[in-house]
Structure 1
Amino acid sequence: MEFSKPLAAHETTIPGVVLYDLPVHGDNRGWFKENWQREKMLALGLPDFGPVQNNISFNEKAGTTRGIHAEPWDKYVSVATGRIFGAWVDLREGPTFGAVFTAELDPSKAIFIPRGVGNAFQTLEDGTAYSYLVNDHWSADAQSEYTFLNLADETAAVPWPIPLEQAELSEKDRAHPRLADVTPMRPKKILVLGAGGQLGKALRKAYDGAGSPEGPNAPVEFATRAEFDLADPNAYASRNWSQYSTIINAAAYTAVDKAETPEGRRDAWAINVSAVAKLAAIAVEHRLTLVHVSSDYVFDGTVEVHDEDEPFSPLGVYGQTKAAGDAVVSVVPKHYIVRTSWVIGEGNNFVRTMANLAAKGVKPSVVNDQIGRLSFTEDIAAGIRHLVETAAPYGVYNLSNDDEPQSWADVARSVYHLTGHEATDVTGITTEEYFTGKTAAPRPLHSSLSLAKLIALGYVPEPQDRRLAVYLRS
């Protein structure tokens, strides 16, 4: 064992498996090491994997051989005393399935093993103690999610220092399947909540084929309100959250005017804040990524273009609940807050209303002093998928369609023109004039969102005029 070498990380032939050199300090009395030091290890790139259990395997004799077991959690493995030959085989679904890495470990080395990578070792000295931190609690039920590979598999061809016929093996390990018969461990799932709404339907289309052999690896599960009611406390206990990597919350209370009533105020806070707080707590506890959809209504609209760092200044109850929900989500270590404006998708919305009025020959009065951009759900869904799949830096991102900002009256005129009607049939009036004598929530006059941060990550939103024409044709 080498003393006092610097802490260092080494990538291996298996993605996500990282070998570490650990500084060990020794003298005539023995030795001391920091086996796992969170701050230093994070600086080296070790995932903040949140260990919850520490296990030790003591092995009396050299030649004891254990594995190859792939478990549904991450592990950080080290040797407390003695020496091992370690073998790791990628048993995850994907292009690196079957990849092998081997190394000798003594107390001066450690290795991080992601979920789904098979772990095995053979002791090279008597009295070897093998230690591992894991980030989920062991349970008998969890064993059903294990994936195994036979230690003698000819494809992996692990070069065991002590031949297996001379080693100590369990009968279970002798009976595990060869690689050709192994069912790969699937990635953790993405859960989309609010799958019956406008954005939820767009996310279904965006993730069509996900989890299939032809599509992206991560399987996606969709839950409508009937399948996961955010207002029902039992819904949160109905999932085994260790099986998920990401929650996309496409559900929200969006009745802007009704939110100003006593009943609406309670419902808006229940869905947009209290339910979001429950999701945030789950995301923190299980180290999930939480994607949350926000709104331009968190601002008062006095600034012409809103960037991601602008302080909250909501005017009405709906905006207040969305701002509160954003604040809750911001404390989740792995979060994306996707802020949109003027959402248009499959369902009742402004563009459909204008198209119907045009078809009926109605000449409407539409507000001309609220300025912003449309956000088509197809593009919101594509932007969300881009953030998740590219592992973009966590934080807040504005996401709308691009183009010059327009008023609602401008959009209505475009709808009339694109549907073969006279744009001059639309009359522009102020917000104050439009809502005279009506009970309505206050609206921000400027809703345009800066898209620079998202575009810098390689996602370029479609121009709103082009998307509007396509939307109306379909």
Structure 2
Amino acid sequence: MTPVAALSVTPTAIDGLLVVALDVRADNRGWFKENWQRRKMTDLGVPDFGPVQNNVSFNTAAGATRGIHAEPWDKFVSLARGRIFGAWVDLRPGPGFGTCVTLELGPETAVFVPRGVGNAFQTLEDETAYSYLVNDHWSLAAKDSYTFVNLADETLAIGWPIPLEQAELSDADRAHPRLADVVPMRPRRTLVVGAGGQLGRALLEAWPEATGVTRAALDLADPASVAAFDFSPYGVVVNAAAYTAVDAAETDEGRAAAWAANVSGVAALVTAAREHRCTLVHVSSDYVFDGTATEHAEDEPFSPLGVYGQTKAAGDALVATLPAHYVLRTSWVIGAGKNFVSTMASLADRGIAPGVVDDQYGRLTFTAEIARAVDHLLSIGAPYGTYNISGGGEVMSWADVATAVFTAHGRPVSDVTRVTTAEYRAGKTLAPRPRHSALNLAKIEATGFVPAPVADSLAAYLD
């Protein structure tokens, strides 16, 4: 064994397959190495893959050959003793399918193998101990998710040091299909929680292959419902569910319901996402701010005025504890179904002249635009964190929006009476609202996302 001077990580021809040169310290007594060192290795580019199980394969004689198996988890392969010839084949869908990498490994070298990449090895020495960390618990049912390719596939043309006819193989490994007959391992799916709501419907329209669940199947306000749900097939979970009855949240019953769905339920989602290595996308609100600032950046400290805003802020803080997360903060959401724009359109059509608040300011955010932003961030692999998303263009008041709707419906501007918040609240029991809800969009724009102007989206919506 040749000692290595320093830890290093090298990419290979297979996307995500990494070769790790380990720092092995040897003396007259033997040798020592840090086989897995989370901080050092992740700093060098190895994914923080969260191993939960350590397996060891002891092989009595040289020539023991195993694989090629692609498994539904990531693994970190290394040796405690002996040497192997390793072979890895990309069995994921895409242009890399069928790419093969081979390498000889001793205790001084490890390999990070991403989900869906087939793994095989042949021992070159007697009494070889092959060790691997995985980030999911093995089960008999999990084996049904494996994808295999034959060790002797002619197109791969792997140069096994010990010819396969002289090697020790299992009958199952001999019977695996050739590459031409292999069905690529399907990527982990996307789950939309709250599929029955305005945003949930927009997300499923954008992602027809995603799985959507309504409250009947996954109720965030019910811990037992979340605990019973199987998150293991999903790589991305989008939380489009929330308690959004802003005024009702100020009541005793509403306060408890808001905290149950927006905080306790989100905490359970975070726990599930961490356990199953999911990216969690969580939709938040301008109500986490008091509206004092005329425009809100992502790093503005929380300052919610009411119960709804308090629960959303608490949920945001919980989601931020998860490394793989996106919080999308929105304002004045408009989608299919009942909302401010549809209400104003109905009033205009019925000849009703409303009084509309003229001293609260923001931008409409259409659900299709939120869905587009979520898809953009996931597709480009944007840095995790919080992003503001709303429509682009000029900041408007609610009265400005109402006037635009009435005008589009052929009603005179005079039909909309502009009132102050104080005038509108008189005699009503209403939750406090932020005066300024406009969100700074510079961060998401820097990723290449261009928010559609509110005026254009509103015109399309009214059509």
Q: Please indicate the TM-score interval, normalised by the length of the shorter structure.
A: over 0.9
Match of 2:396 in 1: 406
Aligned to 1:306, the other structure's residue is in SS state coil
Match of 1:214 in 2: none
Match of 1:79 in 2: 79
Q: 1: distance between equivalents of 2:212 and 2:126?
A: 52
Q: Is the 8 A contact 2:298 2:386 kept in 1?
A: yes
Match of 1:135 in 2: 135
Q: 2: distance between equivalents of 1:176 and 1:403?
A: 58
Match of 1:453 in 2: 443
Are positions 1:352 and 2:350 aligned together? no
Match of 1:467 in 2: 457
TM-fit CA distance, 1:386: 1.1
Match of 1:439 in 2: 429
Q: 2: distance between equivalents of 1:68 and 1:95?
A: 19
Q: Kindly report which structure 2 residues correspond to 1:365-376, keeping only aligned pairs within 5 A, or say none.
A: 365-376=355-366
Match of 1:235 in 2: 225
Q: Kindly report which structure 2 residues correspond to 1:82-101, keeping only aligned pairs within 5 A, or say none.
A: 82-101=82-101
Aligned to 2:225, the other structure's residue is in SS state helix
Give the alignment partner of residue 260 of structure 2, picking from 266, 270, 275: 270
Q: Deviations over 1:251-296 (max 9, x none)?
A: 0111111111111111111111111111011112222211111111
Q: 2: distance between equivalents of 1:191 and 1:87?
A: 33
Q: Deviations over 1:366-392 (max 9, x none)?
A: 100001000000001110111122111
Aligned to 1:63, the other structure's residue is in SS state coil
CA RMSD between the two structures: 1.2
TM-fit CA distance, 1:87: 0.4
Cα gap change, 1:183 to 1:327, in 2 (>3 Å) = same
Are positions 1:124 and 2:118 aligned together? no
Query: What 5-or-longer segments of structure 2 have no aligned partner?
Result: none
Q: Deviations over 1:195-250 (max 9, x none)?
A: 11000011011113x4xxxxxxxxx2111122222223333234332321111000
Aligned to 2:232, the other structure's residue is in SS state helix
Q: 2: distance between equivalents of 1:189 and 1:409?
A: 42
TM-fit CA distance, 1:396: 0.9
Match of 2:285 in 1: 295
Aligned to 2:168, the other structure's residue is in SS state coil
Are positions 1:321 and 2:317 aligned together? no
Aligned residues: 463
Aligned to 1:241, the other structure's residue is in SS state coil
Q: Is the 8 A contact 2:87 2:120 kept in 1?
A: yes
State the AA in 2 paired with 1:109. T
Q: 2: distance between equivalents of 1:42 and 1:200?
A: 34
Are positions 1:394 and 2:384 aligned together? yes
Match of 1:384 in 2: 374
**Residue identity (%):** 65
Q: 1: distance between equivalents of 2:41 and 2:308?
A: 42
Q: 1: distance between equivalents of 2:172 and 2:230?
A: 27
TM-fit CA distance, 1:62: 1.1
State the AA in 2 paired with 1:85. F
Q: Deviations over 1:130-156 (max 9, x none)?
A: 111111111111111111111111122
Match of 2:19 in 1: 19
Match of 1:205 in 2: 205
Q: Is the 8 A contact 2:218 2:229 kept in 1?
A: no
Q: 2: distance between equivalents of 1:87 and 1:244?
A: 28
TM-fit CA distance, 1:460: 0.9
Aligned to 1:448, the other structure's residue is in SS state coil
Q: 2: distance between equivalents of 1:437 and 1:134?
A: 61
Q: 2: distance between equivalents of 1:39 and 1:232?
A: 36
Aligned to 1:4, the other structure's residue is in SS state coil
Match of 1:338 in 2: 328
State the AA in 2 paired with 1:126. D
TM-fit CA distance, 1:349: 0.4
Q: 2: distance between equivalents of 1:107 and 1:247?
A: 38
Q: Is the 8 A contact 1:380 1:400 kept in 2?
A: yes
Q: 1: distance between equivalents of 2:274 and 2:252?
A: 32
Q: 2: distance between equivalents of 1:28 and 1:256?
A: 71
State the AA in 2 paired with 1:230. L
- Shifted more, 292-301 versus 223-232: the winner is 223-232
Q: Is the 8 A contact 2:357 2:424 kept in 1?
A: yes
Are positions 1:364 and 2:354 aligned together? yes
Q: 2: distance between equivalents of 1:181 and 1:89?
A: 14
Match of 2:181 in 1: 181
Normalising by structure 1, report the TM-score.
0.96
State the AA in 2 paired with 1:54. N
Q: Deviations over 1:430-455 (max 9, x none)?
A: 00001101111111111000000110
Q: Is the 8 A contact 1:5 1:21 kept in 2?
A: no
Q: 1: distance between equivalents of 2:49 and 2:259?
A: 32
Moved over 6 A (4+): none
TM-fit CA distance, 1:31: 1.6
TM-fit CA distance, 1:364: 1.2
- Shifted more, 255-264 versus 20-29: the winner is 20-29
Q: Is the 8 A contact 2:326 2:385 kept in 1?
A: yes
Match of 2:30 in 1: 30
TM-fit CA distance, 1:313: 1.0
Q: 1: distance between equivalents of 2:107 and 2:394?
A: 62
Q: Is the 8 A contact 2:149 2:179 kept in 1?
A: yes
State the AA in 2 paired with 1:12. T
Aligned to 1:205, the other structure's residue is in SS state helix
Q: Kindly report which structure 2 residues correspond to 1:49-64, keeping only aligned pairs within 5 A, or say none.
A: 49-64=49-64
Q: Is the 8 A contact 2:222 2:260 kept in 1?
A: no
State the AA in 1 paired with 2:410. G
Q: 2: distance between equivalents of 1:290 and 1:329?
A: 8
Are positions 1:104 and 2:94 aligned together? no
State the AA in 1 paired with 2:325. H
Match of 1:215 in 2: none
Q: Kindly report which structure 2 residues correspond to 1:39-50, keeping only aligned pairs within 5 A, or say none.
A: 39-50=39-50
Are positions 1:223 and 2:213 aligned together? yes
Q: Deviations over 1:300-339 (max 9, x none)?
A: 1111001111111111111111111111111111111111
Match of 1:425 in 2: 415
Q: 1: distance between equivalents of 2:245 and 2:38?
A: 45
TM-fit CA distance, 1:80: 1.3
Q: Is the 8 A contact 2:4 2:21 kept in 1?
A: no
Q: Is the 8 A contact 1:150 1:174 kept in 2?
A: yes
